[in-house]
Amino acid sequence: MEDPCDACGAPPDYGMILSVGVSARPLVHSIRFLADRYPRLAVGFVATAESRATALEVAAGAGLDASLVRLETVLDDPSNTRQVMASANRLLGWMRGLGLQTGRIAVNPTGGRKWMSAALALFASYYGLLQVYVDVEYGPSGPAADTMELVRLGDLLEQSQLLRLEAVQKLFNAGLFLKAAKLAQEIADQGEAGSLVASALAELALYLHDWDQVQYVRKEPDFGPVREGIQRALVPMGPEWQDFANRLEALQAFITELHGSCREPGPKRLFLLDLVANARRRFLADHYGDALLRLMRLAEELALVHLAEYGIDVRDYGASAEREDLPQSVRGWLAKRAAENRTSLSFHEKVRTLKKLEHPFAALAYQGLPRGFRPVWDLRNRSVFVHGYDPVSRTLAGAALGWFVGYVQGLTGRSVSELEVPQMPSLGFLLP
């Protein structure tokens, strides 16, 4: 591929993009200061029609090589900062074509109109360009050369990164892990300061999203990369992260145990605890429809647990139908299902089987709150998430959650408060 600098000789030593106002006095001194240090200085001016003459005067007064000067003219329209950014982008492309790397191109956004300066500062921040200006003290006879110094300006996006991480923190703490992961990855991809932290948080949020969606039923989440990323990113932040890391390790151990228990035959009582905690998180985040769906998933798992008390394997109806110790009505019911080549029972069919076995859970499924959970079943079928248009109220979701918490506590003997599910780690240490 042809070198773009073949036609222009050696690449410039440095490049500067700057906006120009009508006064040339401060700008001439700044350009001369840089030209003395970089004899082959490429300069790109962004000017209005009124300040074009100033830009040309500065270029001539600083003795710049005419082949290394380019001028972009924009309309004097404060409402249209896009044109300044477009002009700056063309100047950036021109400088790169001269052979300058990003690290050798700076932007001085302090000249020109205020709206031009704002646009240039944002442009430089987005492209990761150094932002500088030349500071100088003026005496009676003009600028004192020995007081001139190059001053670096703060990067706007770098400074606003805290605000973006705060948004990640809020999404994460609300249990909206997928949204938190997407925003964190955007921050990481832009290479901003703190991108290492953002990348680690994106991996962590995706890991927790898989847990929240009970993906561990099929496969065990890989915590190794998450642990390594968290350690690299958070250890330098100080001791505040340690409690977070400890909670995360406890949660990871619980998820590993969950995966193992779901791979084993028989009732999955640990799974019940996680489903309750899952529905609880959704309720506390004001996602009542989601909480209701998870409670119905919990009800289905409870039905399986109770069927297992009779040794009924819902994966093999034919074998269960031949059991002599089961009532004839149950055996006939299961034999019919097996003859239809049914691969699974619906929730209603599970409850009907338990009803034939005279298990109390079947009666509770048909009773209203606070004794039973029929309203949950009914509203699940009428909700906007399934077939209907009925919203899920906080009152009903809260009452249903309380019912299932109490039922699972009685079944497992676990604590009502947390049901021995590790508390979700929250990002309280990233920001003050």
Judged by average pLDDT, the poorest of 86-100, 333-347, 361-375, 416-430 is 416-430
**CATH number of this structure's domain 14-154, picked from the four choices 3.40.50.300, 3.40.50.20, 3.40.50.2300, 3.40.50.10770:** 3.40.50.10770
**Which tokens belong to 45?**
């001016």
Site of tokens 């250890």: 235
Residue 352 CA to its chain's centroid (Å) = 44
Whole-angstrom distance, CA of residue 339 vs CA of residue 18: 81
Task: State the angle between helix axes of 347-356 and 288-308 in degrees (0 to 180), rounded to the nearest 10.
Answer: 40
Summarize the confidence of residues 208-235 as an average pLDDT. Answer: 84
What pLDDT is stored for residue 278 in this prediction?
A: 87
The CA dihedral of 243, 205, 174, 234, to the nearest 10 degrees, is 30
Site of tokens 């529905």: 279
**Which tokens belong to 89?**
């982008």
What pLDDT is stored for residue 166 in this prediction?
A: 77
Whole-angstrom distance, CA of residue 134 vs CA of residue 137: 10
Label the pairing between strands 138-139 and 142-143. Answer: antiparallel
The DSSP result for 76-108, as a single string, is S-TT-THHHHHHHHHHHHHHHHTT--GGGEEEE
Is the pLDDT at 387 greater than 70? The verdict is: no
Neighbours of 309 (CB within 10 A): 12
What pLDDT is stored for residue 5 in this prediction?
A: 35
Angle, CA 383 vertex, CA 285 and CA 361 arms, to 5°? 85
Of 50 and 11, the one with more pLDDT: 50
Count each helix (H run) and each strand (E run) in the chain, helices first.
17, 8
Strands (E) located in 335-428: none
**Which tokens belong to 43?**
């300069």
Is the pLDDT at 7 greater than 70? The verdict is: no
Whole-angstrom distance, CA of residue 291 vs CA of residue 29: 66
Site of tokens 């408060």: 417
| Rg for the chain, CA atoms, rounded | 34
What pLDDT is stored for residue 1 in this prediction?
A: 26
Label the pairing between strands 105-108 and 69-74. Answer: unpaired
Whole-angstrom distance, CA of residue 48 vs CA of residue 337: 81
Q: Which amino acid is at 161?
A: Q
Average pLDDT, the chain: 80
Closest by Cα among 10, 20, 122, 127 to 70: 20
Are 30 and 112 within 8 A, CB to CB? no
Q: Is 358 left (phi over 0), alpha (psi -120 to 50) or beta?
A: left
Strands (E) located in 230-372: none
User: pLDDT-derived band of residue 2, with 50, 70 and 90 as boundaries?
Assistant: very low
What pLDDT is stored for residue 147 in this prediction?
A: 60
Closest by Cα among 257, 266, 305, 258 to 408: 305
**Which tokens belong to 359?**
């298990």
Give the whole-number percent of the chain exceeding pLDDT 70.
78
Task: Report the b/e string of 277-297 with b at 16+ CB within 10 A.
Answer: bbbbbbbeeebbbbbbbbbbb
| pLDDT tens digits for range 301-340 | 899 889 888 888 766 667 777 788 888 888 888 888 778 7
Q: What is the pTM of this model?
A: 0.58
Secondary structure of residue 314 in the 3-state scheme: coil
Say which residues have a Cβ less than 8 Å from residue 325's Cβ, sequence separation at least 6: 311
Give the whole-number percent of the chain exceeding pLDDT 90.
14
Whole-angstrom distance, CA of residue 346 vs CA of residue 351: 9
Angle, CA 386 vertex, CA 383 and CA 392 arms, to 5°? 20
Closest by Cα among 39, 73, 41, 40 to 56: 73
The DSSP result for 27-55, as a single string, is HHHHHHHHHHH-SSEEEEEEEETTTHHHH
Cα distances (Å, whole numbers) of residue 212 to 46, 216, 233? 51, 9, 24
Are 346 and 266 within 8 A, CB to CB? no
Per domain, the residue ranges of the chain are 14-154, 158-263, 265-309+359-432
* Phi, psi (deg, nearest 5) at residue 142: 120, -165
